[in-house]
Structure 1
């Protein structure tokens, strides 16, 4: 039980990265358009985020310091400032999309227009970040996000042709859609899987929970349980869309279509569970992105930070939190579509990925910080190969977005 509770940090990190509001739609859209043909992207993404989160968690446990703190010290203020600006912009806009996702989830349950719920969502996220203790926060929202397992259950309840489902993973699901759109979706899904704020949140959370070298096993357990769970939930979204939406020729434009397979399987009860799951994962992602934005800024400037520190002792950290949430709310009140906003930010995130993952690899091999806990040869080989994939995704993201008009 202790190990299962320890995994909740990984679960909260994972549900925020794999199945936030944009990914709920993107994963379902991938299934509706391409069947299971993008399953390999999720598998690759799970391997990548596990490898780099393990490094980030190990850095936090051995040094007692978060990744962004060491990036500034190891690579210098100028390089770290570029990283900070890029990650803060991406993270705050993603926070806006997650707040929109919370509002959309409440609209799904109540029918009340989502813009009315946007300020309420912002206030609720701020109150949780202000008042709720970190362990309680990660366990409540990390575990509540597991309600998305209803999509996996729906696969068994629906008349699923398992042979056809498996065949769609290897049968060239791009047929009729075009290779450009296929690769655009692949890059977007990969970027959502290895979002930079995930590792910032995970390593900073380790510092919040005061990990030491004795906690390395629990940190690895958290990675190896939490992040694969996120990947499994995203895969379930793709699979249910493949079974229900693809044969009907339906497209996905909002959470109503995402929930359709579960509603078809379980009726009103399915809708209620789906709305709860959507609320949990988007609210958890909003907490994660809000904290990640403040963590990065505070660690760069050397401010006192963390939820274990009283707001009076970490005034600037909590000010950045508040400002980030307010910026997210103001952006949504322009009536911009939060789903489309997140999809655009996935492409921008893909471009910025090397700025996050290369420094982690550098620090994880520095004996000055980690002594004999540096990466072994096998992990370095894997991480280097994954870094090449990350670099390739960053290079092709914008050309694909322009060439396919955002995957159309």
Structure 2
């Protein structure tokens, strides 16, 4: 029974890690402007993150080594430094967006401006990392994040036109009234939001924290094979609800209040309370994951002791890295920068950084030195190579599309 409970909690945790502030904002913006005509991107992104996370989890279970330990070992210190720089900066940017998301959520709950909540949110993230056990931390975020299912419920309660919905989902061309470049910018942004690399950094490092071994391969498959698709379902619920409420009014979503308002319209005060709990849990969980991932990536590259099981005195560089990154994120937000804008930049740069870590994991997942006889089969490799091409194309296109469309405006 204990084993099955661990599997169930792992699945719930995957849901909490999938839907962060980037997914909340990006899916709502896309839903309001494009309806469900970009639902196919969410499906593509979910399959991609399942592949990516499964290969990383398999490598950990069979070799006992996390992502950046392997990247440095395979590429060498100099080549891996480029991977580290891009991935670390992207994760730090995402951490900044998540802390901003916590502050915005607390503003909706209290009416107090988000600037006042930034220090509180930063301190709360640090205290949880410092005091709470790893398993309790991830399971609490995942369980509370399940309340985001109200987005899916709201979509049905709001009463979509099912014929129109099917037409949108099957539409595979630029949306009427939108410039094709804008359409493709949001394709890349939605893909980047679904395949954020920090999810895999945290997933693989968390597997080491939990001492995964060969016997945990099935646990890895269940975590990624069920948890991430459920997270994708929540993303579609966010987009669909935003479409039904905001598209008829021709309103562009630009605030977190607009993201959650469709739930309030559909389910009233109780629904609004539940969605705010879910958003707070999702942003808090993602802030914990990104803060830890900053420490994981740098410590793994540098060969420092790392992990929450180490007391600060035993892994000082790891813990100091987390504190410094939290202070940087807090300082950036204290300048008054819009957290929503930070979020939009973070999902674009996630797409840019993705190939630098995906490619090495794909190589190692086929190396018997690391995984023994559990190398990728021909079907898995074929699919993984298709995704490598998609990831590279998205990475190359991301910044030009961002510039040409003015961040999708």
- The TM tier, using the shorter chain, reads over 0.9
Matched, 1:307 2:308: yes
Residues 274 and 40 of structure 1, relative CA distance in 2, 3 Å threshold:
same
Deviations 1:126-152 (A, max 9, x none): 000111101101100011111110011
Residues 196 and 317 of structure 1, relative CA distance in 2, 3 Å threshold:
same
* Corresponding position of 2:289: 288
| Mapping of residues 135-174 of structure 1, within 5 Å | 135-171=135-171, 172=173, 174=175
Matched, 1:60 2:60: yes
Q: Secondary structure at the match of 1:247?
A: coil
| Mapping of residues 233-272 of structure 1, within 5 Å | 233-272=234-273
Unaligned runs of 5+ in 1: none
The 1-side partners of 2:319 and 2:127 are apart by 11
Shift of 1:7: 4.9
CA contact (8 A) 2:22 2:346 kept: no
* Corresponding position of 2:213: 212
The 1-side partners of 2:158 and 2:239 are apart by 15
The 2-side partners of 1:104 and 1:71 are apart by 36
* Corresponding position of 2:355: 354
- CA-based RMSD of the aligned residues comes to 1.4
Residues 8 and 85 of structure 1, relative CA distance in 2, 3 Å threshold:
farther
The 2-side partners of 1:344 and 1:312 are apart by 36
* Corresponding position of 1:70: 70
Residues 232 and 338 of structure 1, relative CA distance in 2, 3 Å threshold:
same
CA contact (8 A) 1:15 1:230 kept: yes
* Corresponding position of 1:23: 23
Residues 197 and 10 of structure 1, relative CA distance in 2, 3 Å threshold:
farther
Kindly tell me the number of residue pairs found equivalent between the two proteins.
407
The 2-side partners of 1:374 and 1:96 are apart by 37
The 1-side partners of 2:214 and 2:58 are apart by 8
The 1-side partners of 2:221 and 2:269 are apart by 39
* Corresponding position of 2:127: 127
The 2-side partners of 1:43 and 1:60 are apart by 26
CA contact (8 A) 2:134 2:308 kept: yes
Deviations 1:324-361 (A, max 9, x none): 11111111001111111111122222111110100111
The 2-side partners of 1:124 and 1:366 are apart by 41
Shift of 1:5: 3.2
Q: Secondary structure at the match of 1:248?
A: coil
The 1-side partners of 2:360 and 2:9 are apart by 26
Q: Secondary structure at the match of 1:373?
A: coil
Q: Secondary structure at the match of 1:282?
A: helix
Residues 13 and 297 of structure 1, relative CA distance in 2, 3 Å threshold:
farther
Unaligned runs of 5+ in 2: none
The 2-side partners of 1:109 and 1:307 are apart by 31
CA contact (8 A) 2:174 2:180 kept: no
* Corresponding position of 1:274: 275
Q: Secondary structure at the match of 2:369?
A: helix
After superposing on structure 2, the runs of 4+ consecutive aligned residues of structure 1 that deviate more than 2 Å are 1-16, 170-173
Which TM-score applies when normalising by structure 1? Answer: 0.97
Shift of 1:60: 0.5
CA contact (8 A) 1:34 1:173 kept: no
Deviations 1:37-75 (A, max 9, x none): 111100001111101111100001001111211111111
Deviations 1:13-48 (A, max 9, x none): 5533x4222321110111111110111100001111
The 1-side partners of 2:8 and 2:318 are apart by 26
Residues 370 and 284 of structure 1, relative CA distance in 2, 3 Å threshold:
same
The 2-side partners of 1:126 and 1:210 are apart by 23
